[in-house]
């Protein structure tokens, strides 16, 4: 897994967390072409970028409670739209060839809503709320959040860093769960 | 300009005689019910041609890739510039079409059964968790990796979702030399371009006029023969002659579209028409088809149904109807060069309800080439309404307003009435409620399964290599679609009759619908989907997301 085809730094200047892990060589030319076709299909207004509404035109995504978070992570520069480079980069983290670290990064970013490198108590609560909706009471949720942070937070700063996250999630079969064949 | 016109006129005068002879020959062959195997041969030649084209394209692409890969070593790949859709997917399987790109493990598989929730036990089994939520209320255990399934599901649907992809034409593994499936290929290599151009000439200048001609002639023959038959006084003779004439002109019609129909296990097929009873049938789709396509056919339909309508009720009428309608639809199928293979004809529905998957408006037409069905459909006004009334005159069809919920119960009641009458033909229903692109089966509406009675599942699978039968109604209009069909190579399809099914005691209509759907999907080699076909037109319901959330919270609670 060489680094020679990594996307140049300036393409992802706004996202310091994810930059290092983006490698296009996770895909061969054919896969890129296929993804390109998919991208064009999703891009209903042919603007060259996918808006949230365009993602939401897929019924399967509409029903996914975490879709907002996933799109946010795709949108590396935070301009509210996902262009083709961001699209490829986002998908590439789910490639079979993608390494475990980048997959963990992606999972971490699901919880790390403000992208500051830490999962705070509030962030975890919000993401959990998205996942369960109104099926659990807020007090219950808060209990879960507190417990989870207490369990993972080794340096006791009240939030979960990426290392701490890896310690908890890293031993699960994440590289199996986060693989999508393109 | 003058040169061209003179050239054309000369060409026409030269080609006129053989063309006419050919038509006559086809008509003659059709009327005696013989086939020279030309259509099968034609289909096989086409297959060889496609294979040749595919190899050619692959070689050309390899060379092109070698060239571009030299340059790509220096600068990062710029994928946006790549030509669109010039993809030959290699992970296809059946019939050279792709099924799915992603292999899904149904972790949090789409299960938005909101119109009718799947039985909760089934869901639980699928998601592999136990039911101790009653006491698990307090002991909740959340793990940070709980989100991964959701994330993965989201990612999968971003790359390839199951719902929108079934509303688009399938992708082919190899180019079938039709421009509409690929706008890039004809300029790939010179040899292919020439082949494509020749194919174009054949399809538009030969097949299309031939088909239209035969179509018109067949319709004409039918009108004449039905008219003559109606003059004959009522007795056994009339029925026999009528039958012969119907079958004859029917076969002509079938020829006109080079239909290749293979009947398997014909020894099992119901003996005698009186048993397989039929009335004039045509699905509303066919009605639409004919109304747009050719006024004369419609006119014929009306005439012949009127004739049939004057006959007294009874076996005779049904028999005549059976013959007329079979003929009519076979004729129509010739116009599009339909090659239909019927499997397991001994399972052919005799009465009751027949359910099939729905790909294109000609589905009904394909099925009716082999059997007679009653139709159920929306009531239309104007011209279509006229047609529907004509159809209803000859045989019991059910027309209703789709929007009226109240009417739905009435429809169910009428369905029940219909199948309770011994002699009525089977009702043909497409429970998906919309056209799917031939790769999958979507959720079956439970309505038709609530009625009870025997269900005859039928699986229809088109071979998209010869022409796309799927009607993408959001992209093409009806006329455009018909033109596409008439100028395709042929329509090749397989029809499987499946053993009759009945609702098991204690089984809900929903479960029964799912069971039937699974059987059809398995036989037709289609992907069994849970999604509602109405998503083509409607937005997904908000409740589905809530259902997913419920699912997740259950998981958190019980683990």
Q: Does B388 contact A at CB distance below 8 Å?
A: no
Question: Do B258 and B337 touch, CB atoms closer than 8 A?
Answer: yes
- How close B310 comes to chain A (CA, Å)? 51
Instruction: State the Cα–Cα distance between residues B212 and B204, nearest whole angstrom.
Output: 11
- Best residue in A23, A48, A58 to probe B by mutation, most B CBs within 10 Å? A58
Rounded mean pLDDT, A76-94: 84
**pTM check: above 0.90:** no
B97: DSSP letter: B
Distances (CA, A) of B284 to B414, B426, B537: 17, 15, 20
- Which is nearest to B429 in space by CA: B377, B355, B499? B355
For B58-104, the DSSP string reads HHHHHHHHHHHHHHHTTSPP-GGGSPTT----S-B-GGGBB--SSPP
Question: Do B314 and B386 touch, CB atoms closer than 8 A?
Answer: no
Rounded mean pLDDT, A30-51: 83
The tens digit of pLDDT for each residue in B216-261 reads: 666 666 556 555 555 555 555 555 555 555 555 555 555 444 444 3
Token digits of residue B177:
């030399």
pLDDT of residue B253: 53
Residues 496-535 of B with CB under 8 A from A: 531, 535
Q: Containing H/E element for B342?
A: strand B338-343
The ipTM assigned to this model is 0.74
First-last CA distance in chain A:
18
**What 3-state DSSP class applies to B357?**
coil
Cβ contact (<8 Å) for B155 and A66? no
pLDDT tens, chain B, 559 aa long: 566 777 767 766 666 666 667 766 665 655 555 555 666 677 777 777 777 777 777 776 676 666 655 444 333 333 333 333 333 333 333 333 333 333 343 333 333 333 333 333 333 333 433 333 333 344 566 777 777 777 888 887 777 766 666 666 555 555 666 655 554 544 556 677 777 777 777 777 777 777 677 666 666 665 565 555 555 555 555 555 555 555 555 555 554 444 443 333 333 333 222 222 222 222 223 332 332 233 334 444 555 555 555 555 555 555 665 666 555 555 555 555 555 666 666 666 666 666 777 666 666 656 655 566 666 666 655 545 555 555 555 555 666 665 554 566 776 777 777 777 666 667 777 777 666 777 777 777 776 677 767 777 777 777 767 766 676 666 666 566 666 666 677 667 777 777 777 778 877 878 888 888 888 888 777 777 777 666 655 555 666 677 777 777 777 776 5
Q: Does B101 contact A at CB distance below 8 Å?
A: yes
Which one of B80, B155, B548 has the shortest CB-CB distance to A84?
B80
Q: Does A11 contact B at CB distance below 8 Å?
A: no
Q: Which residues of B touch A136 (CB under 8 A)?
A: 140, 553, 556-557
Length, in residues, of chain B: 559
Label residue A16 by pLDDT band (50, 70, 90).
very low
Q: Does B117 contact A at CB distance below 8 Å?
A: no
Q: Does B115 contact A at CB distance below 8 Å?
A: no
CATH numbers and ranges of domains, chain A: 5-92 (1.10.238.10), 100-177 (1.10.238.10)
- How close B353 comes to chain A (CA, Å)? 31
Q: Which residues of B touch A33 (CB under 8 A)?
A: 79, 82, 86-87
pLDDT of residue B433: 65
pLDDT of residue B400: 64
Cβ contact (<8 Å) for A143 and B76? no
- Which is nearest to B453 in space by CA: B406, B408, B421, B496? B421
B424: DSSP letter: P
Of B334 and A19, which is predicted with more confidence? B334
Label residue A111 by pLDDT band (50, 70, 90).
confident
Q: Which is it for strands B491-497 and B338-343: parallel, antiparallel or unpaired?
A: parallel
Distances (CA, A) of B336 to B44, B176, B278, B364: 17, 16, 24, 14
Which residue is closest to A151 within chain B, CA to CA? Answer: B143
Residues 539-558 of B with CB under 8 A from A: 539-540, 544-550, 552-554, 556-557
Distances (CA, A) of B420 to B368, B378, B413, B417, B454: 22, 22, 11, 5, 11
Cβ contact (<8 Å) for B154 and A70? yes
pLDDT of residue A19: 36
Residues 58-87 of A with CB under 8 A from B: 58-67, 69-70, 84
């Amino acid at each position: 897994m060489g680094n020679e085809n990594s996307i140049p730094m300036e393409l992802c200047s706004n996202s310091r967390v994810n930059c290092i892990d983006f490698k296009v060589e996770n895909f061969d030319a054919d896969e890129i072409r296929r993804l390109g076709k998919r991208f064009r299909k999703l891009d209903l207004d042919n603007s060259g970028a996918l808006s949230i509404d365009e993602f939401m035109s897929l019924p399967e995504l509409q029903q996914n409670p975490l879709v907002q978070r996933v799109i946010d992570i795709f949108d590396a520069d935070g301009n509210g739209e996902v262009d083709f480079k961001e699209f490829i980069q986002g998908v590439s983290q789910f490639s079979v060839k993608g390494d475990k670290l980048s997959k963990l990064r992606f999972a971490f970013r699901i919880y790390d809503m403000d992208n500051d490198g830490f999962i705070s108590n509030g962030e975890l609560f919000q993401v959990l709320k998205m996942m369960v909706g109104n099926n659990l009471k807020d007090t219950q949720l808060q209990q879960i959040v507190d417990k989870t942070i207490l369990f993972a937070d080794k340096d006791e700063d009240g939030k979960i860093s990426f290392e701490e996250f890896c310690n908890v999630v890293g031993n699960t079969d994440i590289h199996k769960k986060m693989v999508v064949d393109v | 300009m003058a040169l061209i016109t003179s050239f054309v006129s000369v060409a026409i005068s030269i080609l006129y005689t053989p063309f006419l002879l050919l038509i006559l020959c086809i008509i003659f062959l059709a009327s005696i019910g013989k086939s020279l195997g030309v259509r099968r041969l034609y289909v096989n030649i086409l297959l060889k041609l496609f294979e040749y084209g595919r190899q050619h394209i692959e070689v050309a692409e390899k060379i092109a890739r070698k060239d571009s890969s030299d340059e790509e070593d220096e600068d990062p790949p710029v994928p946006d510039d790549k030509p669109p859709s010039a993809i030959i997917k290699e992970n296809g399987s059946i019939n050279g079409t792709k099924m799915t790109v992603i292999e899904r493990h149904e972790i949090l598989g789409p299960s938005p059964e909101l119109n009718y929730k799947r039985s909760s036990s089934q869901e639980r089994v699928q998601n592999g968790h136990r039911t101790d939520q009653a006491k698990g209320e307090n002991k909740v255990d959340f793990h940070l990796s709980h989100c991964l399934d959701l994330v993965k599901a989201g990612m999968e649907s971003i790359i390839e979702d199951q719902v929108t992809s079934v509303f688009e034409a399938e992708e082919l593994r190899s180019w079938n030399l039709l421009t509409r499936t690929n706008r890039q290929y004809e300029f790939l290599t010179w040899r292919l371009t020439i082949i494509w151009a020749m194919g174009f000439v054949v399809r538009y200048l030969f097949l299309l006029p031939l088909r239209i001609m035969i179509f018109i002639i067949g319709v004409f023959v039918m009108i004449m023969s039905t008219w003559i038959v109606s003059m004959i006084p009522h007795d056994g003779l009339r029925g026999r002659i009528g039958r012969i004439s119907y079958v004859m002109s029917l076969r002509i019609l079938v020829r006109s579209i080079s239909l290749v129909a293979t009947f398997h296990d014909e020894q099992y097929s119901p003996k005698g028409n009186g048993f397989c009873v039929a009335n004039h049938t045509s699905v509303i789709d066919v009605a639409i088809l004919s109304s747009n396509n050719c006024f004369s056919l419609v006119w014929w339909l009306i005439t012949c149904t009127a004739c049939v309508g004057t006959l007294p009720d009874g076996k005779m009428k049904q028999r005549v109807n059976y013959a007329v309608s079979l003929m009519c639809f076979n004729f129509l199928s010739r116009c599009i060069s339909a090659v239909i293979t019927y499997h397991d004809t001994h399972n052919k529905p005799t009465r009751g309800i027949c359910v099939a998957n729905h790909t294109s408006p000609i589905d009904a037409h394909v099925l009716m080439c082999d059997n007679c069905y009653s139709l159920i459909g929306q009531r239309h006004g104007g011209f279509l309404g006229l047609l529907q009334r004509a159809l209803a005159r000859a045989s019991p069809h059910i027309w209703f307003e789709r929007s009226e919920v109240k009417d739905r119960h009435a429809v169910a009641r009428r369905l029940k009435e219909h199948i309770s009458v011994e002699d009525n033909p089977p009702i043909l229903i497409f429970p998906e409620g919309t056209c799917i692109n031939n790769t999958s089966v979507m959720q079956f509406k439970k309505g038709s399964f609530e009625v009870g009675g025997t269900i005859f599942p039928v699986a229809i699978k088109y071979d998209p290599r010869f022409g796309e039968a799927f009607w993408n109604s959001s992209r093409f209009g009806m006329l455009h679609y018909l033109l596409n069909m008439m100028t395709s190579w042929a329509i090749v399809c397989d029809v499987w009759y499946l053993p009759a099914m009945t609702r098991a005691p204690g089984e809900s209509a929903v479960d029964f619908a799912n069971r039937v759907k699974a059987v059809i999907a398995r036989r037709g080699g289609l992907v069994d989907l849970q999604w509602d076909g109405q998503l083509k037109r409607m937005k997904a319901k908000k409740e589905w997301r809530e259902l997913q959330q419920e699912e997740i919270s259950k998981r958190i609670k019980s683990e």
